[in-house]
Every structure is written in structure tokens, then in C-alpha cells.
Amino acid sequence: MQLDEYARLDATGLAGLIRSGSLSATEAVQLALEAADSVNPELNAIIHPRYERALEEARSAGGNDDAPFAGVPIVLKDLGAPMAGEPYYAGTAFLREINYVPAADSYLTARLRRAGFMVIGRTNCPEMGTNITTEPLTYGPTHNPWSSAHSPGGSSGGSAAAVSAGIVPVAHGNDGGGSIRIPASCCGLVGLKPSRGRVSAGPASGDAWAGSAIDNSLARSVRDAAAILDVLAGYEPGDPYTAPPPARPFSSEVGAPAGRLRIGFLDRPALKEFAADPDCSAAVLSTARILEGLGHVVEEAHPAAMEREGFQQHFLTVVTGSIAAEIDRWSAVLGHRIEPKVLEPDNATFYRMGTEVTASQYLRAVQWLHDYRIRMAEFWHGEGFDLLLTPTIAKPPPELGYLSDPEYGQARIPEYQQFTAQFNVTGQPAVSLPMALSSTGLPIGVQLVAAYGREDLLIRLASQLEQAGAFLSQRPRIFAGGSL
């Protein structure tokens, strides 16, 4: 198989070739390593390569036909999904300095490995995942394959860049405020954030950021997003809660009839102080017209709670309190106090803010967000909408340096993060789909949001759009198989 053919395959297609004997697991991993060698020096997506180990594992894997993704290369984000015996730094200098190596796999890592995936490395992320661009001081920026001057998004930006550029067909990511969906939008991918409790964070964590954070994948196809969710979904011992089990495997929803759905759309930020971006608005309106053409009822409507003041303030209280607790946890693991001066400036500020949050302030913020969740749910359960359509981010991908500026970066994030964090708090499933290009040739994703537990609807409709040829057909400038 030639590199350009490999780089265009999704994980399901690659797994089928391996299963049929047309390609061996060793050959698949060798192609992934060839792809990484060709584009990663320009991207800086993979920061912990385990190329030789992956080849050894592929050679010794044999033909395990029971594993759905036997022999398929994958990368893990260097945040979440710890892997026994492999470096895990979470974008931090303090873990890098001691070369921290976990003793055990997370439940998620174990599930991916049992499914047959071959981990070829870990990918770049912002320090502790607290930015929506991937520009950690410890490792330097990851570049967007569509334009090396632009951000691939964050915090799963390294994983998104690796998939978009053809190194691997699918990658691990996680999402606490948009960190799967935002990089998917920036890099022209499918990024599905599952319902709260669908994927276990254990055993080391229960419900990070008060249940707002969850893991899944960045993918090239809807069928991959669905099939990998089948691999990852389900209760694990000690989980504080779990999402209702689906009626059938999520992969069965690919190509299934979607019915006639009622879809509301919002093509501008709900908060009046932020202006609509013409490219992002156009992507939503174009998608709305396609959905109408597919027989759905589409109307301009959104949850009134999205206009409610106070969301950012209370979410920030939860996030900063959680960051402070996480740094204190690492201090206990390392046996010495992690001083704020070893953190990047934004995280040093978050740590200080978090240590000033009292228990009662934290719990009041959680309660406010619970009330917000109830108000948001009215759109689906009271007003009778099946889905909400929005931009994924409020502007096309930013240039590198814009959101990481030590003085102004954090203040600029709300310009972009207008549509994603709300659904981390509500726990609803949401997906970013690659539907458009900006006037400057950068990917723009649109987001679909379903009621809690209804990933099935998202997958059916996303598959319908994909099969209608609505997804981007272009390839990025930096691509292992050459751009189209």
C-alpha cells in the first residue's frame, strides 16, 4: 500500500484491510511511522513517540480477528488516558522534569488496547488542558495542517493535527469545554463529545470539572466516531454514574433512517456583546438549507438559557477550583509542593483563583450550573426540538499566538468559545462536523447538540449529511499523502 492510500483511509476501512489479510498490522504501523516522519517535524503534533514499541507490538499481535481495530495505529493525547510505562506530562514542566511514568493504564487506554489499536505516540496539548489552542511553553505550538501559521485548536490540538494530516486515522481526545469539538472544527474532522457518564474517566478520576469533562476521539468519518464510542462506552468499577445504555450499538446508527427531525439553529453568539462572524454564520445557514432539503423541519430557535448572564463566572469557579485541587493532588503524588512559579502564567492565575474559592462558593456554583442545566433542557424536553445547530466556534481558526498571549490570550477566548462549554455543563452529547471553509481556506465546523443520552440521533443525522456529500472533500496543505 502506498502512503497516499493509507493516509486517506479511516480506521474502519484500515481495520477491514488488516482483517482480510490485504495488509498486516506491522505494515499499517510502518505506514503510520512513515507518515509521522513526513509531516510531524512541521506539525509538532506527536511529542512522545513510541515508534519502535508500536512496531514490536504489531509484530507480536498475530491475527486477532475478535478485536474490531486490530492493528490500527492511534495516538493518545498527553492528557487523560495514561498508559503504563509511558511518559505522561499533561503539558506541564513539573511532570516532564521528573519524567513521570504511570504504573497502570486507565480504563480508557485498556479498552483501546483490547480493541486492537496500536499506540504510536502521545500528542501535544496545552498545559493541563486549560486553553483552546495547543501552544504549551514546554513543547511549543502544534501547527494546523491547513495553515502552519494557525492554531489547530485545543486542548486536543495535537491529536486533531495528527488525524487531519494523515498520520493516524483516529486519535484520542477529551473535552471539558469544547476540547474535542474545537480542534475538530479547526482541522476539518468529526469530533463527538458523548453524554456525561458515557465514557469512564477511571480509575484515577471520577468526574473532572464537576462532570463537565469526558473522553472520546477525533475522527475522519462518522462511522469511526460511532464505532470507537462503542469501544469506549460503558460503566467501569467505581464510576460515580453512567449514561443510560444505548438500545443498540452506536455503529448501528450509521446510515439508519433519521426520520423527520425538528432542528433549531443559532447562527450567531447568543450573548449580545459578541458579533457574528460571516463565515461561521454562513456555514450554519448552508447546513440548515441542506437539512431542509433532506426533509427536516429547521427553524431559527435556541435555548433561552444560552443568553443567561452568569454562566462563564460560575463555570470558571468550578474550573479554577478543580485546577487548584489537581495541582495539589500532583503535589501529594510528587511529595513536594508545586509552586505556582513553575506553572504557565494563565495556570498560575487559575491556581491562585482556585485556592481562594471556598467550599460553599464552589457548591453554590455547582448548584447554579445545575439550575442552568434544567433551564437548557427545556428546549429539548419542553419545546420539542430534537437537535440544535450552531457554529462550533464563533470564528475561523485563530493565528498561533493570539490565544496564548500571556497578557491578552485568556481575555480573547470568549471571542471563540461561545457554543461548546454550555453542553459540557449540561452533559448533552454534541458533535462538530466539517461542513465549510472560511474565505481564507480554513475549516469551519458546525455543531449539532442532542438531548442527554441521544448520541443515536447525532450519529444518524451526521451520517445523513456525510452520505449526502456535505462534508469537506479537500485535504490540508500538510498531508502525508499529498493534498488534493
- Catalytic member of 147, 151, 159, 179: 179
Please give the backbone phi and psi of residue 267, each rounded to the nearest 5 degrees, phi first: -105, 15
Sequence-distant (6+) residues with CB within 8 A of 381 are 451
CB count, 10 Å around CB of 204? 13
Sequence-distant (6+) residues with CB within 8 A of 325 are 354
R_g (Cα) of the chain, nearest Å: 21
d(CA 248, CA 246) in angstroms, rounded, equals 5
- Catalytic member of 38, 106, 151, 155: 155
Question: Chain centroid to CA 393: how far?
Answer: 13
Helix, coil or strand: residue 445: strand
Annotation says 147 is catalytic? no
Complete DSSP assignment for 33-58 = HHHHHHHHHHH--EEEE-HHHHHHHH
Sequence-distant (6+) residues with CB within 8 A of 382 are none
CB count, 10 Å around CB of 183? 40
d(CA 294, CA 51) in angstroms, rounded, equals 45
Q: In what order do the strands lie in the sheet with 73-77?
A: 46-49, 118-123, 73-77, 170-175, 214-219, 190-193, 430-437, 443-450, 387-391, 262-265, 297-300
- Catalytic member of 38, 77, 212, 404: 77
Peptide bond into 102 cis (omega under 30): no
Annotation says 179 is catalytic? yes
Closest CA relative to residue 138, chosen from 127, 153, 149, 129: 127
- Helix, strand and coil content of the chain, in percent to the nearest 5, comes to 40, 15, 45
Burial pattern 147-172, b for ≥16 Cβ within 10 A else e, equals bbebbbbbbbbbbbbbbbbbbbbbbb
CB count, 10 Å around CB of 238? 10
Annotation says 77 is catalytic? yes
Sequence-distant (6+) residues with CB within 8 A of 45 are 75, 123, 124, 142, 152, 157, 158, 159, 161, 162, 165, 167
The residues with which 430 forms a beta bridge, in sequence order, are: 193, 449
Instruction: Point out the residues that are catalytic.
Output: 77, 155, 179
